[in-house]
């Protein structure tokens, strides 16, 4: 059987090393995973109990439109409920947007390096991915605007950018939006929006309300700590939602995910605590890296891409033997950098101690 031509050059996604596997492999009892930008504080303690209301309904399909969550989230974001779409992770919304708007002969513009799903989905649809190199780790919006032509359907802006953690500012976005022609969608992937503390960060929802060509993507996987459930959402003009709904699977967001997200959303104290602890962790990382003389990108996410001054795979393996899983930059296009998720204070200190030891060897 021959796989379809568009798929031949698409690599299979390589996830970070699972925690259980590392424990077995190195005979370690304690392993900390700082590789996938998961929340070190778990999720809101209210989530577990909220799930019990679903236990009598396991035999029933979920409500496809997630009405309860839709209402709560609309209130939280101050948008009409018709502007929301839910996905099995925001990954699935990226997939649905690609399916609905890309086809052979079309193009889509993104940064190089950024979140890999935009490109993968473009290739699956047989569309051309036009990649514009980052400048100092930041989206080159001028370059991206210049890359737009009549075949362009979507521009992806990952803000904060994964893996660099950098943001584009409200002012930069405004300048860029003036150059975007009306046949192009602009997707702002804001998976880390809740972590951002920089006042220059744009209000993506305001952009959506002002412009029917702007889409904001967010997720419950990161600050809400609900990655296991797979649930994310998109905010956009209601007519775009209608288009995307044509390719959405009828029951794409499962019952438990809808319930968990509802509970998570209601606990904004948890979100605020996580944001605060994360910022302290970033500051700890940054001051320590400065002391060590190692370059890093200023991050508004819950991770820092930092130079190790040596081959990143080597550093990755070294840290692994100490029970710390990080992400090597080799596969991310930064061969001497590692991407490290901000953990709890204890985890952060443990990681920095190991970094010190490795550096002095
Ligand atoms: C983690 C991440 C996502 C995907 O989140 P899910 O909702 O878990 O699918 C999307 N975009 C970026 C930039 C991410 O880092």
Is a pLDDT exceeding 80 seen at residue 184?
yes
Which helix or strand (DSSP H or E) is residue 79 part of? none
Q: Identify the pLDDT of residue 314.
A: 95
* Cβ–ligand 1 contact at 225 (below 6 Å): no
Q: Where does the pLDDT of residue 302 fall: very low under 50, low under 70, confident under 90, or very high at 90 and above?
A: very high
Residue 246 to residue 234: CA distance in whole angstroms: 15
Q: Identify the pLDDT of residue 312.
A: 96
Q: Identify the pLDDT of residue 21.
A: 85
Quick one: the chain helix, strand, coil %, rounded to 5? 45, 15, 40
Measured in Å, residue 90 CA sits from the centre of ligand 1 at: 6
* Cβ–ligand 1 contact at 165 (below 6 Å): no
Is a pLDDT exceeding 90 seen at residue 9?
no
Measured in Å, residue 219 CA sits from the centre of ligand 1 at: 7
Task: Give the atom of ligand 1 at the shortest distance from the alpha carbon of 160.
Answer: 13
Q: Which of 105, 217, 118, 111 is nearest to 152 (CA)?
A: 105
- Give the closest residue (by CA) to ligand 1 atom 6: 89
* Cβ–ligand 1 contact at 216 (below 6 Å): no
Which top CATH class is 5-42+269-360? alpha beta
* Cβ–ligand 1 contact at 253 (below 6 Å): no
How far separated are the first and last CA of the chain, in Å rounded?
51
CA 4 to chain centroid: 28
Q: Identify the pLDDT of residue 22.
A: 83
Q: Where does the pLDDT of residue 360 fall: very low under 50, low under 70, confident under 90, or very high at 90 and above?
A: confident
Which helix or strand (DSSP H or E) is residue 231 part of? none
Mean pLDDT for 85-92 is: 98
Instruction: List, for residues 15-27, the tens digit of each pLDDT value.
Output: 767 788 888 888 8
Mean pLDDT for 77-94 is: 98
What are the extents of the domains in the chain?
5-42+269-360, 45-267
Measured in Å, residue 191 CA sits from the centre of ligand 1 at: 6
Is a pLDDT exceeding 90 seen at residue 181?
yes
Which helix or strand (DSSP H or E) is residue 109 part of? strand 107-112
> What does pLDDT average to over the chain?
95
CATH topology of domain 45-267: 3.40.640
Is a pLDDT exceeding 80 seen at residue 87?
yes
Mean pLDDT for 319-327 is: 94
């Amino acid at each position: 059987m021959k796989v379809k031509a568009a798929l031949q050059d698409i690599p299979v996604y390589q996830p970070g090393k699972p925690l259980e596997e590392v424990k077995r492999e190195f005979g370690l009892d304690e392993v900390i995973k700082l590789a996938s930008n998961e929340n070190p504080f778990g999720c809101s303690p209210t989530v577990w109990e909220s799930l019990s209301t679903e236990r009598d309904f396991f035999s029933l399909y979920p409500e496809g439109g997630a009405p309860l969550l839709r209402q709560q989230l609309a209130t939280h974001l101050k948008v009409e409920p018709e502007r929301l779409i839910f996905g099995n992770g925001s990954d699935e919304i990226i997939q649905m947007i690609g399916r609905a708007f890309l086809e052979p002969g079309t193009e889509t513009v993104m940064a190089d390096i950024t979140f890999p799903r935009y490109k993968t989905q473009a290739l699956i649809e047989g569309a051309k991915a036009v990649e514009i190199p980052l400048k100092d780790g930041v989206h080159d919006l001028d370059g991206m605007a210049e890359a737009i032509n009549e075949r362009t359907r979507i521009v992806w802006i990952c803000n904060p950018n994964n893996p660099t953690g950098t943001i584009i500012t409200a002012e930069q976005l405004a300048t860029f939006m003036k150059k975007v022609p009306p046949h192009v969608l602009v997707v702002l992937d804001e998976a880390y929006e809740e972590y951002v503390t920089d006042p220059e960060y744009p209000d993506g929802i305001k952009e959506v309300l002002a412009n029917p060509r702007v889409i904001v993507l967010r997720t419950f996987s990161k600050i809400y700590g609900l990655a296991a459930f797979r649930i994310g959402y998109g905010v956009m003009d209601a007519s775009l939602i209608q288009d995307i709904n044509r390719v959405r699977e009828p029951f794409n967001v499962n019952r438990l995910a809808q319930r968990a997200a509802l509970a998570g959303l209601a606990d904004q104290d948890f979100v605020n605590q996580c944001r605060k602890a994360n910022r302290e962790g970033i500051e700890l990382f940054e001051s320590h890296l400065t002391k060590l003389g190692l370059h890093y990108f200023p991050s508004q996410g819950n991770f820092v891409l930092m130079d190790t001054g040596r081959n990143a795979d080597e550093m990755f393996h070294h840290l692994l033997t100490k029970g710390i899983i990080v992400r090597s930059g080799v596969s991310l296009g930064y061969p001497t950098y590692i991407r490290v998720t901000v953990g709890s204070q204890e985890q952060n200190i443990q990681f920095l101690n190991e970094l010190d030891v490795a550096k002095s060897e």
